[in-house]
Amino acid sequence: MLGQKRSQVSEATGGKLDTIVGKDAFIKGEVKVKGSVRIDGQIEGLIDSSDTVIVGKTGRVSGEVRAKSAIVAGDVSGDLLLSSLGILETGSRLRGDIVCQGLVINEGVFFEGRCQRRDGKAAPSASTPPKPAETSKEG
């Protein structure tokens, strides 16, 4: 199982980390990153990444996350809008909805929200919100 988890993380990040928000950092506002970002501090606001967002065990995010994939080990209050994979690590907390292609929820996760499978391959971005699921009306 551990080998499988490592390959999922490596695949999600492409083996590269472009930006790190340290554990003593506090950012309020919109954060746009080309590539992957690891958050060990606190961010209040939108996070828009072209690749992977990693929220470490000490990381706290209050706001929407838009990315190709996300790995959450810390605390997120907001929606995850992903074009690919979402991984919720043991001990993580997510209060918000998830839109993604694939989802891994490990044992010991607190998740309060809804999950929706994303159709299409286009990556979400701050300028193009995902389409809500269509519902049929019976009349």
For 66-109, how does the pLDDT look when each residue is reduced to its tens digit (9 = 90+)? 999 999 999 999 999 999 999 999 999 999 999 999 999 999 99
Number of C-beta neighbours around residue 110 at 10 A: 11
Cα three-residue angle 49-131-95, rounded to 5 degrees: 60
What distance in Å separates the CA atoms of residue 64 and residue 120, rounded to the nearest whole number? 20
pTM over 0.95: no
pLDDT tens-digit profile of 11-59?
555 567 889 999 999 999 999 999 999 999 999 999 999 999 999 999 9
pLDDT more than 70, % of the chain: 75
